[in-house]
Amino acid sequence: MSSISILHRACLRLALLPLPPLRARATALRPPPPPRRHLHLPRRSAMSSAASRLSHIATATAGAAAAGESNEPPPAGSAVAQEDDGLSGDIGYRLPPKEIQDIVDAPPLPVLSFSPNKDKILFLKRRALPPLSDLAKPEEKLAGLRIDANSNTRSRMSFYTGISIHKLLDDGTLGPEKEVHGYPVGARINFVSWSQDGRHISFAVRVDEEDNKSGKLRVWIADVESGEAMPLFKSPEIYLNAIFDSFVWVNNSTLLVCTIPVTRGAPPQKPSVPSGPKIQSNETKNVVQVRTFQDLLKDEYDADLFDYYATSQLMLASLDGTVKPIGRPAVYTSIDPSPDDKYLMVSSIHRPYSYIVPCGRFPKKVELWTVDGKFIRELCDLPLAEDIPITMSSVRKGKRSIYWRPDKPSTLYWVETQDGGDAKVEVSPRDIVYMENAEPINGEQPEILHKLDLRYAGTSWCDESLALVYESWYKTRKTRTWVLSPDEKDVSPRILFDRSSEDVYSDPGSPMMRRTDMGTYVIAKIKKQDGSTYVLLNGTGATPEGNVPFLDLFDINTGSKERIWESDKEKYYESVVALMSDKTDGELSLDQLKILTSKESKTENTQYYLQTWPEKKQVKITNFPHPYPQLASLYKEMIRYQRKDGVQLTANLYLPPGYDPSKDGPLPCLVWSYPGEFKSKDAAGQVRGSPNEFPGIGATSPLLWLARGFAILSGPTIPIIGEGDEEANDRYVEQLVASAEAAVEEVVKRGVAHPDKIAVGGHSYGAFMTANLLAHASHLFCCGIARSGAYNRTLTPFGFQNEDRTLWEATSTYVEMSPFMSANKIKKPILLIHGEQDNNSGTLTMQSDRFFNALKGHGALSRLVILPFESHGYSARESIMHVLWETDRWLQNYCVNGASKADSDSVADSENKTLSASGGSAAREDLSPEGSSYLPRSLL
Section 677-698 average pLDDT = 95
Please give the backbone phi and psi of residue 99, each rounded to the nearest 5 degrees, phi first: -65, -25
CA distances to 260, 360, 548, 741, 813 from 665, rounded to whole Å, are 64, 55, 34, 21, 42
Nearest partner of 306 among 349, 274, 364, 367, judged by Cα? 349
pLDDT level of residue 928 (50, 70, 90 thresholds): very low
User: What is d(CA 836, CA 100) in angstroms, rounded to the nearest whole number?
Assistant: 25
User: What is d(CA 178, CA 165) in angstroms, rounded to the nearest whole number?
Assistant: 5
Q: How far apart are the first and last CA of the chain?
A: 40
**How would you classify the pairing of strands 375-382 and 399-404?**
unpaired
Mean of per-residue pLDDT scores for the chain:
87
Which helix (H) or strand (E) is 936 found in, with range? none
Nearest partner of 460 among 387, 390, 511, judged by Cα? 511
Return the pLDDT at 899: 54
Q: Are 818 and 795 a contacting pair, CB within 8 Å?
A: no
Order of all β-strands in the sheet with 494-500? 455-463, 466-473, 478-484, 494-500
218 strand-pairing partners:
205
**Residue 418 gets which letter from DSSP?**
S
**How would you classify the pairing of strands 521-523 and 561-566?**
unpaired
User: What is d(CA 252, CA 450) in angstroms, rounded to the nearest whole number?
Assistant: 35
User: What is d(CA 647, CA 642) in angstroms, rounded to the nearest whole number?
Assistant: 6
Instruction: List, in order, residues 6 or more apart from 587 with CB less than 8 Å away.
Output: 525, 526, 527, 533
Which helix (H) or strand (E) is 776 found in, with range? helix 765-776
403 burial via Cβ count (<10 Å: 0-12, 13-18, 19+): middle
Rounded to the nearest 5 degrees, what angle is found at the Cα of 431, between the Cα atoms of 679 and 470?
60
Q: Are 95 and 75 a contacting pair, CB within 8 Å?
A: no
Helix count (H) and strand count (E) of the chain? 14, 48
User: What is d(CA 52, CA 61) in angstroms, rounded to the nearest whole number?
Assistant: 12
Which helix (H) or strand (E) is 484 found in, with range? strand 478-484
Q: Show the DSSP H helices in 612-764 as ranges.
A: 661-664, 681-684, 732-749
Q: Are 289 and 806 a contacting pair, CB within 8 Å?
A: yes
Q: Are 393 and 455 a contacting pair, CB within 8 Å?
A: yes
Other CB atoms within 10 A of residue 798 CB: 18
Q: Are 442 and 464 a contacting pair, CB within 8 Å?
A: no
User: What is d(CA 29, CA 111) in angstroms, rounded to the nearest whole number?
Assistant: 9
Q: Are 537 and 552 a contacting pair, CB within 8 Å?
A: yes
pLDDT tens-place string over residues 208-250? 876 666 799 999 999 999 999 999 999 999 999 999 999 999 9
Other CB atoms within 10 A of residue 405 CB: 21
pLDDT tens-place string over residues 414-426? 999 999 999 999 9
Please give the backbone phi and psi of residue 263, each rounded to the nearest 5 degrees, phi first: -100, 15
User: What is d(CA 155, CA 149) in angstroms, rounded to the nearest whole number?
Assistant: 8
Global pTM reads 0.86
CA distances to 112, 184, 302, 455, 458 from 418, rounded to whole Å, are 43, 54, 35, 10, 17
Return the pLDDT at 916: 30
Return the pLDDT at 29: 31
User: What is d(CA 632, CA 657) in angstroms, rounded to the nearest whole number?
Assistant: 8
Return the pLDDT at 287: 87
Section 297-305 average pLDDT = 96
pLDDT tens-place string over residues 98-153? 999 999 999 999 999 999 999 999 999 999 899 999 999 999 999 999 999 999 99
User: What is d(CA 841, CA 367) in angstroms, rounded to the nearest whole number?
Assistant: 31
pLDDT level of residue 489 (50, 70, 90 thresholds): confident
Residue 908 DSSP SS3: helix
pLDDT tens-place string over residues 265-293? 999 999 999 888 888 888 888 888 898 99
Active-site residue numbers?
764, 838, 872
User: What is d(CA 357, CA 354) in angstroms, rounded to the nearest whole number?
Assistant: 6
Residue 373 CB-half CA count within 13 A: 14
